[in-house]
């Protein structure tokens, strides 16, 4: 029994990391209506920036916030120069461009930062917060989930109770009509990418202490993060967090208790994506698409 709970806790620990990256994916989808396959690599790049700042004496929290700020600008620039010219209709082109950004960002990071792993300073100690017998819940995991929930709350306030948030929702609902009511659509699109990039930086900084900061930081996570976003609903930040935790727990339990998934945990994530897209494409918390033909 204790093994089960330990695995669940492990799963939650993993899942929190997936949730963090999933938040960035959800934000980009929510505001710009696209899947950004390069989100992880951008996050990794930003995390290196945070690391450099921390390595040069700045306190960790400041380093992370500064990296997030830089990422806002970086994301906005990428949107304006690389994504906007493609246009929203050409789905294949968007896939290619985001893959291109993936490749280039990864290679650029390798060129600038080198291929060695780095130790990333912790915000939360990797010590137990609470213990039930042999089962430990760490401060770190709790801290990460707490931060994520705060972010979810802030995003909710942004989208539902600010003019900018309403504008973002309008643009993603109908960009042409948004223009017609006077919303500066270009700026909103840039903002979407900027915010998502900042969330990616946060995700990387939260993940790096556990996983070690290297070029591969996000690659192992990307599919899981996508599974989390799919399960939670691509337009729901809360869904990203809940989805992430469920994916994490599913992954560890499946790997532990089902032979097929032993050493093949990614298969469980894939299955999750497939089932959700077939059975309930809007995920747990997403909004079902209403189309009147």
Partner 1 sequence: MTRLALTPRRVVLGVLAVVLAVVVLYIPQYFVEFRTAQFTSVIAISIAVLGLALLTGFNGQISVGHGAFFGVGAYTTAILTADHGWSHLSTVPVAMILCLAIGVMVGLPALRISGLYLALVTLALATLFPLVIQKYSDVTGGSTGIGVPDFEPPDWASGLTEDQWAYYVILAFAVVTFVLVRNLIRSRVGRAIIAIRDGEVAAEVLGVNLARYKVATFGISAMIAGLGGSLFVMNTAVLDRVDPSQYTIARSIEFLAALVIGGAATIMGPVLGSLFIVFVPEFSSDINAELSRVIFGGVLIVMMLVLPGGVLGGLTRLEAGTLRRLGRDRQWRRLRATAAEADSPDPDGSPTVDGAAT
Partner 2 sequence: MTPLLEVADLEAGYGPVQVLRGMSFTVDAGETVVILGANGAGKTTTIRAVSGMIDTKGSVVVDGKSVGGRRPEDIVRLGVAHVPQGRGTFVDLTVEENLRLGAFTRKDDDVAADMDHWYEVFPRLHERRDQVAGGMSGGEQQMLAIARAAMSRPRLLLLDEPSLGLAPIVTQELFRRLQTLNQEQGTALLVVEQNANLALSIAERGYVLEAGLIVAQGTAAELQADESVRQAYLGI
Distance CA 266, CA 270 (A): 6
The rounded Cα 168 to chain-centroid distance in angstroms is: 19
Q: Are 171 and 183 in contact (CB under 8 A)?
A: yes
Question: 131: which strand partners?
Answer: 136
Task: Using CB under 8 A, pick the residue from 60, 66, 69, 93 that binds partner 1.
Answer: 93
**CB under 5 to 8 A by kind: which of partner 2, partner 1, none does 86 bind?**
partner 1
Task: Using CB under 8 A, pick the residue from 226, 236, 239, 283 that binds partner 1.
Answer: 226
Question: Measured from the CB of residue 158, what is the shortest distance to partner 2 in angstroms?
Answer: 15
User: Using CB under 8 A as the criterion, what x/- string covers residues 112-151 for binding partner 1?
Assistant: ----------------------------------------
177 vs 212 by CB, closer to partner 2: 177
Residues 15-44, interacting with partner 2 (CB under 8 A) = none
Residue 97 as a binder of partner 1 (CB under 8 A): the answer is yes
108 vs 164 by CB, closer to partner 1: 108
**CB under 5 to 8 A by kind: which of partner 1, partner 2, none does 274 bind?**
partner 1
Distance CA 69, CA 66 (A): 5
Distance CA 270, CA 279 (A): 14
Q: Which of 20, 11, 26, 77 is nearest to 43 (CA)?
A: 20
Q: Are 22 and 240 in contact (CB under 8 A)?
A: yes
Distance CA 217, CA 198 (A): 17
Distances in Å between the Cα of 212 and the Cα atoms of 25, 113, 119 are 22, 14, 5
Question: Measured from the CB of residue 182, what is the shortest distance to partner 2 in angstroms?
Answer: 4
**CB under 5 to 8 A by kind: which of partner 2, partner 1, none does 181 bind?**
partner 2
Instruction: Count CA within 13 A, CB hemisphere, residue 282.
Output: 8
Helical packing angle, 265-279 and 237-257, nearest 10°: 130
Distance CA 165, CA 171 (A): 10
User: Using CB under 8 A as the criterion, what x/- string covers residues 161-180 for binding partner 2?
Assistant: --x--xx-xx-xxx-xxxxx
Residue 225 as a binder of partner 1 (CB under 8 A): the answer is no
**CB under 5 to 8 A by kind: which of partner 2, partner 1, none does 292 bind?**
partner 2
Distance CA 63, CA 60 (A): 5
Task: Using CB under 8 A, pick the residue from 61, 258, 264, 288 that binds partner 1.
Answer: 264
Give contact residues for partner 2 (rule: CB under 8 A): 163, 166-167, 169-170, 172-174, 176-185, 287, 289-292
Give contact residues for partner 1 (rule: CB under 8 A): 34-35, 37, 82, 85-86, 89-97, 99-108, 110-111, 176, 223, 226, 230, 263-264, 266-267, 269-270, 273-274, 277-278, 281, 293
């Amino acid at each position: 029994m204790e093994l089960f709970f330990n695995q669940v806790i492990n799963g939650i620990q993993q899942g929190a990391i997936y949730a963090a990256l999933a938040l960035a994916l959800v934000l980009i989808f929510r505001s710009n209506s696209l899947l950004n396959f390069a989100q992880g690599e951008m996050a990794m790049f930003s995390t290196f920036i945070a690391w450099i700042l921390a390595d040069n004496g700045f306190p960790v929290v400041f380093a992370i916030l500064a990296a997030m700020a830089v990422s806002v600008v970086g994301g906005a620039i990428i949107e304006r120069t690389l994504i906007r010219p493609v246009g929203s209709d050409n789905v294949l082109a968007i896939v290619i461009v985001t893959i291109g950004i993936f490749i280039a960002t990864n290679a650029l990071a390798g060129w600038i930062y080198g291929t060695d792993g780095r130790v990333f300073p912790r915000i939360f100690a990797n010590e137990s917060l609470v213990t039930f017998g042999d089962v430990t819940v760490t401060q770190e995991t709790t801290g990460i989930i707490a931060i994520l929930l705060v972010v979810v709350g802030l995003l909710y306030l942004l989208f539902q109770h600010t003019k900018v948030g309403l504008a973002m929702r309008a643009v993603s609902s109908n960009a042409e009509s948004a223009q017609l009511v006077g919303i500066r659509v270009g700026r909103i699109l840039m903002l979407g990418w900027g915010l998502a990039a900042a969330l990616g930086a946060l995700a990387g900084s939260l993940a790096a202490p556990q996983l070690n900061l290297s070029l591969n930081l996000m690659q192992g996570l990307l599919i899981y993060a996508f599974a989390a976003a799919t399960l939670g609903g691509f337009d729901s930040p809360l869904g990203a967090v809940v989805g992430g935790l469920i994916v994490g727990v599913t992954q560890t339990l499946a790997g532990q208790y089902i032979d097929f998934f032993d050493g093949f945990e990614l298969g469980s994530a894939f299955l999750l994506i497939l089932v959700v897209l077939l059975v309930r494409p809007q995920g747990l918390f997403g909004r079902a698409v209403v189309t009147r033909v």
